[in-house]
Amino acid sequence: MALPLQGIRVLDMTIWQQGTYATAMLADMGADVIKIEGPSAPDPGRGLTSDGKTPLGAYFHSHNRSKRGIVLELTKPEGREVLHRLAKDADVFVSNMRRRALLKLGADYETLSKINPRIIYGRASGYGPNGPDADLGSMDILAQARGGIMSVTGEPDGWPKPVGVPFADHVGAMSMAFGLMLALYHRERTGEGQQLDASLLAGQLCIQSFNITGSLFNDSWVPPRRPRAGTSATWQVYKGSDGKHFVIGMNGQRWWPGICKALGKTEWLTDERFSTVAARIANAPALIGEFDAIFATKTADEWVKLFSEADLMAARVNDYAEVAQDPQNQENGYITEVERPDGPPVKMVGLPVIFGKTPGRIRSLAPEFGQHTEEVLLEAGYSWPEIEALRANGAVGVPLE
């Protein structure tokens, strides 16, 4: 069965994570994503691994799965000519390089759109295409800082903290994938290509839209950093008798009778300290203390099971090993197996969207450095003698040692 993006070709000139994960998402849904690296400038993500205990680089494979890889020397005119030939028949070009570098390499929008007016040109930037800092570089932690999320993360009296994963990079990547799909849809209706920008900074504002808009509506009110999960007893983290943590998330009066019944505290329904939402907010420290004492009498899993069976909202705080073993993740393919050419299959995080008729999948691990260079050039119409001449010139292929 044809996947939704089968027949779409993407030229991927990205490194690290932002932009790179965006094209991986397209590749999972059938797009032919060709990752372009320089002979002396491979994606630095190739050198990262999660813990140094495995030769498989989780970082690179996560962000470059299902792609093909070629090596082009874009500092040479012949290498730029190859890029332009590939761009002529491409649907999408994506990069997170700065504009001046793209211009120098002949990979700027003006150049590629003249070659192919239908091309969708996506630039994953740091701070957006306009403004005084449009040409500054950025990194995940800088965007988390400038976008405000670090100001509300961490303990009240502690230092601001970044989120524990590359949050800005990944949100920026998903924003880019969303933008590319919209641009492809527009082109499908009109035939018109265009340039788009999805920045790290914009992604951070987007993911905090409600919070930042609330601040704008309320004279720049800044939400304080809060202990645990905040000041609400019914939207909070707790610990079971086994030392494992779990959360409940049930703000609102409609949940309160069920909570009281599950805890064997029906008298709280008429207790003026806790009977209304306003009263529970005013007396949150006392109620959290009551909850702490009760929840210490059963394991975290027992409480989650009890609450879930009563149609109340609760979940375990899973570590990564527990995430991998969670049957919900396994049954939905959120954790999936991927074939490995030189060993047994490996488990990876799968696709976040389930399609009833055109399910995507991770088709392969990331390509080796320059693995598909000849294959892609042959498809583009180059002959073997021409490829050999380009290789001898240093315009394509991995440098010979």
Q: Which of 357, 334, 387 is nearest to 71 (CA)?
A: 387
Q: Which of 199, 195, 174, 175 is nearest to 183 (CA)?
A: 195
Residue pair 251/277 in contact by the 8 Å Cβ criterion: yes
Place of tokens 């994570």: 17
Active site (annotated) includes residue 169:
yes
Tokens standing for residue 58: 């989780």
How far CA 378 is from CA of 79, 86, 252, 365, 375, in Å, comes to: 15, 11, 62, 23, 5
Q: Alpha-carbon distance 241 to 309, whole Å? A: 20
Cα diameter, the chain: 87
How far CA 44 is from CA of 11, 40, 122, 324, 355, in Å, comes to: 18, 11, 21, 27, 33
H-run or E-run covering 316: strand 314-316
Strand 335-340 to 343-349 pairing: antiparallel
Tokens standing for residue 204: 């951070």
Tokens standing for residue 82: 């190859």
Strand 343-349 to 68-71 pairing: unpaired
Place of tokens 């570089």: 137
Q: Alpha-carbon distance 197 to 178, whole Å? A: 11
Place of tokens 């998330």: 249
Q: Which amino acid is residue 263, in one-letter code?
A: L
Q: Alpha-carbon distance 58 to 373, whole Å? A: 23
Active-site residue (options: 12, 169, 219, 242): 169
Strand 194-197 to 235-239 pairing: unpaired
Catalytic residues: 169
